[in-house]
């Protein structure tokens, strides 16, 4: 691999998962392997542009879900239909403030599952 390549994504640019270890196997279901040179993007404050809301195929409010997730207010995420999100990545891709919206949503979903399992 070229020395400039510093990011490997398995599964495509929007829904793929970044690989932290290059020892992962490429199997029959591996549909894409993306190797890129990328500078780390700094997350900025939301500028309330609404691009994530416009592009969301489920008509959710990803910025609201991410804000609640950051604050640990997972019950509010549930009330705002976080389970309807299928984590397509469109909101993160469209965000000019480089907010990793899908990652915050995944974190909130994981916490909600933990709470449900502990009951």
User: Each residue of 97-111: pLDDT tens digit?
Assistant: 999 999 999 999 999
Residue numbers of the domain that contains 30:
7-36
Residue 2 domain flag: no
Residue 42 domain flag: no
Residue 57 domain flag: yes
What total number of domains does the chain contain? 2
- Contact in structure between 100 and 21 (CB atoms under 8 Å): no
User: Is there a single domain that holds both residue 24 and residue 68?
Assistant: no
Place of tokens 């500028």: 47
pLDDT digits (tens, 9 = 90+) for 74-97: 999 999 999 999 999 999 999 999
Residue 71 domain flag: yes
Residue 1 domain flag: no
Place of tokens 């397509």: 88
Structure tokens belonging to residue 77: 């995420």
Structure tokens belonging to residue 21: 């270890």
The secondary structure element, H or E, covering residue 92 is helix 90-94
User: Is there a single domain that holds both residue 28 and residue 63?
Assistant: no
Residue 99 domain flag: yes
Output the pTM of the full model.
Answer: 0.73
């Amino acid at each position: 691999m070229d020395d400039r390549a510093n990011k490997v994504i398995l599964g495509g640019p929007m829904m793929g998962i970044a690989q932290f270890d290059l020892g992962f196997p490429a199997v029959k279901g591996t549909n894409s392997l993306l190797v890129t040179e990328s500078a780390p993007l700094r997350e900025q404050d939301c500028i309330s542009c609404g691009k994530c809301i416009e592009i969301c195929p489920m008509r959710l409010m990803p910025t609201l879900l991410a804000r609640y997730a950051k604050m640990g207010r997972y019950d509010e995420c549930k009330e705002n239909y976080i389970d309807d999100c299928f984590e397509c990545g469109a909101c993160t891709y469209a965000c000019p403030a480089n907010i990793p919206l899908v990652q915050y949503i995944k974190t909130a979903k994981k916490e909600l599952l933990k709470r449900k399992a502990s009951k």
